[in-house]
Structure 1
Amino acid sequence: MKITQISPNIWKLGIWMIIPVNVWFVRSEDGLILIDGGIPKMATGILKQIKELNLPLKKILLTHGHSDHVGSVKEVVRHTSAPVYIHREELQYAEGDMPYPGRKKAQTTIDKGMASPLLQESEGRLQPLEGLLPLWTPGHSPGHVAYYHKEDGVLIGGDLFTTRRGRLARPIPMFTADMQTAVRSGAVIEELKPKLLTVCHGEDIKEPYSQWEGYWTRWS
């Protein structure tokens, strides 16, 4: 596993398993936030990096509940007791009450009661927390969330996109519930104009909004 500081307050921890799998640490006022949990074998590396960064883990935020994003969460919670948050639309699938759209069988990826829903404002927008703006970006999964760090100008995209050779690409079709909705959700890069986009499966892209028109034309 490789740890890389990608902005003043954000580190990316990655592992290569046929494709890259990345998770992120975000420095908050009083500790660290972990975004996503990757695959189970990443737990040791995640716990090691928490120790090396010498900051307490305060929260775990999930982009969604697919197994390659929550695999180490149970073990990390066992060692840190950090609370876990996910979009309320995602809970019924991650907890195994319903199969993800397009899949025949339900699969429990998060133990019941382990995760709480992200707080929403009265008009349905997700509440900012710890310097991060959570953005509901459905399509890859019903409750997919990207997280924008305004101070650093970094959009942590989860599976909102993949990237290939420095270019934006669609999320992996095999695991995407509604590709048309997923592509439309990608418009947040045009709205926010982040300095950097970082995703689970791929390399980081600077000024990703400059590629939006071509991406939209190709995939919409």
Structure 2
Amino acid sequence: MTPRETASAGRTTDGIREVAEGVVMITRAETNSYLVATDEGIVLIDAGLPRSWPLLERALATFGSLPDDLAGVLLTHGHFDHVGTLERLQREHHVPIHVHAADVELVRHPYRYDREASRGLYPIVHPGGIPILLRMTLAGALAVRGVDARGDIVPGRPTRGGLVPLATPGHTHGHVAFHHPDRGLLFTGDALVTLDPYTGRAGPQIVARAATADSAEALATLTPLTATGAPVVLPGHGAAWTRGIHRAVALALAAGAH
């Protein structure tokens, strides 16, 4: 498998792009979700912001599919910007939603999350994040509805389509990444991003303390990801990283917490 996406860390614009064979990245307001074609059907990893719905429909159409055809949604975590289309998927299309048990309550109440620092000062200290946060707001970040999800994702136990969940707590208490060993892909959610919406800073890193429950834990969970040896890292924010998980983790650890 040769990735179609050759960009490394950096900003992403609204749209859809094939990042690997059978894998489409959906991006709205620098927030990513992924459609993955598997032997068990098409799986959606994370659900973006509410106004990413038209992009989701377009992305599904590239597979000749509709929302009703989704085999399920696998959530890396329950923050508001990763669950935005779930209510519609569940209500209108009865798509099953899966998450780690520790994030079930967060999916129900996606604005009630633990964080180390107040968000209030970030626009002053990190003005580069302002345009991103404004785009997220316009994409429905303030109007996300929580849902009931199945808390049945267990690290190490393969889930739909052969995706293997990996424990990556820190950003949230139940955060997981998903490894697709057959394709050399690692979906890191917000455990490791290439663009931080709160600071506007590009490059492999963890998300700012304004949205992270435990930065020390988030940094500590990065090193085990290198055991996957994944050549391609697909984050929750920012462009695909095609220089390998070892390099991404090294840069993220060097960057530290902000």
Q: TM-score, length-normalised on structure 2? A: 0.73
Match of 1:91 in 2: 104
Aligned-residue identity in percent: 25
1:145 and 2:181 matched: no
Q: Which moved more, 1:20-29 or 1:208-217?
A: 208-217
The residue identity in structure 2 corresponding to 1:162 is: V
CA distance in 2, matches of 1:115, 1:157: 20
Cα deviations by residue, 1:138-169 (Å, 9 ceiling, x for unpaired): 00000111111111111111101221587312
Cα deviations by residue, 1:34-58 (Å, 9 ceiling, x for unpaired): 0111000012221232233124210
1:116 and 2:150 matched: yes
Matches within 5 A, 1:61-100: 61-96=74-109, 99-100=112-113
CA distance in 1, matches of 2:172, 2:145: 14
Which of structure 1's runs of 4+ aligned residues deviate more than 6 A?
A: none
1:60 to 51, 63, 73: 73
The SS at the match of 2:71 is: strand
1:78 CA displacement: 3.1
Task: Confirm or deny: 8 A CA contact 1:166 1:205 kept in the other structure.
Answer: no
CA distance in 2, matches of 1:79, 1:98: 23
Cα deviations by residue, 1:54-102 (Å, 9 ceiling, x for unpaired): 2421011111111000011111233432100010001123323994223
CA distance in 1, matches of 2:20, 2:83: 24
Flag structure 2 segments of 5+ consecutive residues without an equivalent: 1-13, 119-143, 196-200
Matches within 5 A, 1:33-44: 33-44=43-54
1:183 to 219, 222, 225: 219
1:187 CA displacement: 1.5
The residue identity in structure 2 corresponding to 1:117 is: G
CA distance in 2, matches of 1:214, 1:31: 35
Match of 2:162 in 1: 131
2:115 to 87, 102, 113: 102
Which structure is richer in relative contact order (CA contacts within 8 A, separation 6 or more)? 2
1:191 CA displacement: 1.2
1:217 CA displacement: 4.2
Cα deviations by residue, 1:5-50 (Å, 9 ceiling, x for unpaired): 11123110112x3xx1110001111320001110000122212322
1:210 CA displacement: 2.3
The SS at the match of 1:11 is: strand
Root mean square deviation, CA, Å: 2.6
The residue identity in structure 2 corresponding to 1:159 is: D
Q: 1:80 to 1:49 in 2, by over 3 A?
A: farther
Task: Confirm or deny: 8 A CA contact 2:114 2:211 kept in the other structure.
Answer: no
CA distance in 2, matches of 1:141, 1:175: 9
> How many pairs align?
209
CA distance in 2, matches of 1:132, 1:43: 24
1:3 CA displacement: 1.4
1:5 to 11, 18, 25: 18
The residue identity in structure 1 corresponding to 2:216 is: Q
The residue identity in structure 2 corresponding to 1:210 is: R
Q: 1:110 to 1:152 in 2, by over 3 A?
A: same
CA distance in 2, matches of 1:215, 1:79: 39
CA distance in 1, matches of 2:54, 2:90: 12
